[in-house]
Amino acid sequence: MVLVHPQGPYDLGLSLKAASAFSPGPHTSEAVLRTPAKVGRTPAIIEVRQVQASPPVLEASSPQRIDPKALKKKAEWITLADLDLSPFYALSEGHPQLGPVTRLLHGLKHLRPASIFEMAVIAITEQQISLAAAYRVRERLVKRFGQEIDGLWIFPDPENLARAAPSELASCGLSSRKAEYVSDLARNVHDGRLDLDSIKAMSDEEARAFITAIRGFGRWSADYILIRGLGRVDAVPADDLGVRTVLGRALGGGPRMTAAEVEDALAPLRPYRGLATFYLLAYSRLTKAGPG
């Protein structure tokens, strides 16, 4: 067991509830984060619970025997522990639409996938289909090529997906083109030709250029990986249909916005445009699911 001291404020229960509203999964109970991942080379179940609200303190543990430092690092990564929400809240306080939302969702952060590779595959699966449909595709992909541990499934390593033929990947529900994208990505990462972790040290623009140079990844995918996978709080997938719809309703008076209108509407919230978008999307999902 290790203690994690995230930048506050932080509400793990609310963050888990929001994660469940976006995508179902065994890791999204409202009390404890329980997610399978590789910690170093060791397959493990990572369990995180909040033991103190202010200042926030998390307790991370695992039934498996793993290095405490590696466990802490992975728990910090997944829970976005390094994100300080206070400047974002100060900026949004006087905003007529966002201010009430941030007050209601105080302490909300998104949960990051355990690796950039997993995030990249998520981005491929979610291109131009619903989140629910993409989740079902990933569920089949993970159960066929991943590793089971204590009833949960660890996301497949690049090596496992690299060994699979595109037709095998497509049998999980991917289109033939997306199967090729996943196959190419996995082979390049496994062979060492592509270092996805290198984008962690890049600026947003450098990371966008790096990602969009990979086959199958455009601007939408790059911005999605930046905000959800890296926690880059100013990145917005403005071409996303869901983003344009929700922001049109929340900031534009009703009609779906164009991508350019999204950029204009979010301009006053720079450098937290991506975080603002996440809050508005989460609010839309949570209020549909029911308040409380």
User: Do the strands 57-61 and 42-52 form a parallel or antiparallel pair, or are they unpaired?
Assistant: antiparallel
Q: Checking phi first, is residue 192 left (phi over 0); if not, alpha (psi -120 to 50) or beta?
A: left
Report the predicted TM-score, pTM, of the whole model to 2 decimal places. Answer: 0.93
pLDDT at 25 over 50: yes
Q: What residue spans of the chain are helical by DSSP H?
A: 12-22, 68-78, 86-92, 98-104, 116-125, 131-145, 158-163, 166-170, 176-190, 204-212, 219-224, 241-251, 259-266, 273-289
Query: What per-residue confidence (pLDDT) applies to 41?
Result: 87
Return the closest-CA partner of residue 273 out of 23, 81, 98: 98
pLDDT at 288 over 80: no
Residue with the bigger pLDDT between 288 and 123: it is 123
What ranges do the domains of the chain cover? 2-82, 116-229
pLDDT band at residue 253, thresholds of 50, 70 and 90? confident
Across the range 51-59, mean pLDDT stands at 97
Proportion of the chain above pLDDT 70, given as a percent? 96
**φ, ψ at 38 (rounded to 5°):** -85, 130
Query: What per-residue confidence (pLDDT) applies to 26?
Result: 53
pLDDT at 251 over 50: yes
pLDDT at 291 over 50: no
CB contact burial 71-85 (16+ within 10 A = b; e otherwise): bbbbbbbbbbbebeb
pLDDT at 292 over 50: no
Query: What per-residue confidence (pLDDT) applies to 30?
Result: 64
pLDDT digits (tens, 9 = 90+) for 67-85: 999 999 999 999 999 999 9
Sign of the alpha-carbon dihedral angle for 80, 83, 88, 90: positive
**φ, ψ at 49 (rounded to 5°):** -135, 155
- Strand, helix or coil at 218? coil
Q: Which tokens go with 208?
A: 């966008």
pLDDT at 62 over 60: yes
pLDDT at 238 over 90: yes
The CATH class of 116-229 is mainly alpha
Across the range 99-104, mean pLDDT stands at 97
Query: What per-residue confidence (pLDDT) applies to 29?
Result: 56
Do 169 and 179 meet the contact criterion of CB atoms below 8 Å apart? yes
pLDDT digits (tens, 9 = 90+) for 133-174: 999 999 999 999 999 999 999 999 999 999 999 999 999 999
